[in-house]
Amino acid sequence: MGDMELRKIEYGTPAYEETIDLRNEYFRKPQGMDIRNEDLTGDAKVNMYGGYIDDCLMATVFYAEKDRATAQVKALIVDEKYQGQGYGKYLMNFIEGLIREKGYKKAILQGRVSAQGLYEKLGYVPTSEVFDYNTIPHLWMEKDLK
Ligand SMILES: CC(C)(COP(=O)(O)OP(=O)(O)OC[C@H]1O[C@@H](n2cnc3c(N)ncnc32)[C@H](O)[C@@H]1OP(=O)(O)O)[C@@H](O)C(=O)NCCC(=O)NCCS
């Protein structure tokens, strides 16, 4: 793992626009969709973090409050070039740390089945059946933060 710098990203800034591009690349374009056609105003309430190497955005991880006790992890992406080097795990541990600090008792996520193994390694357990989201199989998972 090289030197990744984590930065908080504010809604509506140029850095935020870059996260839209990254999310589009990994979450929508493969399905022929464009995230910019969606209502993204809810992002204003999301806590967004970017991973940078050599000043270039190469990863994202977000969380948002679901209820007073629960936070939802969102938008875990590591650019292809950097996958398989531990960054995904590092970002999950980072965001869980923040969620814990804020006093939430549980982290939940809507994960791709293709990434289920990663989340299970980190202690998440399935809480739903598998369902299609934008044609991709997903499931809900959660982890108690003790
Ligand atoms: C999923 C993703 C974030 C993983 O990031 P990564 O940096 O490659 O993952 P890491 O290198 O930190 O892997 C951590 C551990 O999880 C395992 N792992 C990683 N991806 C996995 C997968 N898809 N299935 C099962 N295990 C996986 C690794 O083998 C590693 O195990 P280890 O700790 O025993 O060595 C990355 O592949 C990605 O961005 N994919 C495209 C977007 C995406 O699908 N995001 C998830 C949406 S729910």
Token digits of residue 96:
């869980």
What is the full DSSP assignment across 7-55?
EEE-TTSHHHHHHHHHHIIIIIGGGT--GGGS--GGGGGSEEEEEEETT
What is the distance between the alpha carbons of residues 107 and 66, in angstroms, rounded to a whole number? 9
**pLDDT (tens place) for every residue of the chain, 146 residues total:** 779 999 999 999 999 999 999 999 999 998 899 999 999 999 999 999 999 999 999 999 999 999 999 999 999 999 999 999 999 999 999 999 999 999 999 999 999 999 999 999 999 999 999 999 988 999 999 999 97
Rounded distance between C-alpha atoms, residue 26 and residue 114, angstroms: 13
- Alpha-carbon span 115 to 113, nearest angstrom: 5
Which amino acid residue places its CA nearest to atom 41 of ligand 1? Answer: 77
pLDDT at 27: 93
Which among 50, 55, 41 is positioned nearest to 23, based on CA atoms? 50
- 126 in helix, strand or coil? strand
Tokens coding 134: 């934008």
The two three-digit tokens of residue 104, written as one number: 């939430």
pLDDT of residue 129: 98
Q: In this predicted structure, what is the pLDDT of residue 1?
A: 73
Q: For residue 89, what pLDDT is reported?
A: 97
Residue nearest to atom 5 of ligand 1 (CA): 88
Residue 116 Cα to ligand 1 midpoint, Å, equals 9
Mutation test residue for ligand 1: of 118, 119, 139, 142, the one with most atoms within 8 Å of CB: 118
Confidence at residue 69, expressed as pLDDT on a 0 to 100 scale: 97
Is the CB of residue 138 less than 8 Å from the CB of residue 132? yes
**3-class SS of residue 131:** strand
Closest ligand 1 atom number to CA of residue 87: 7
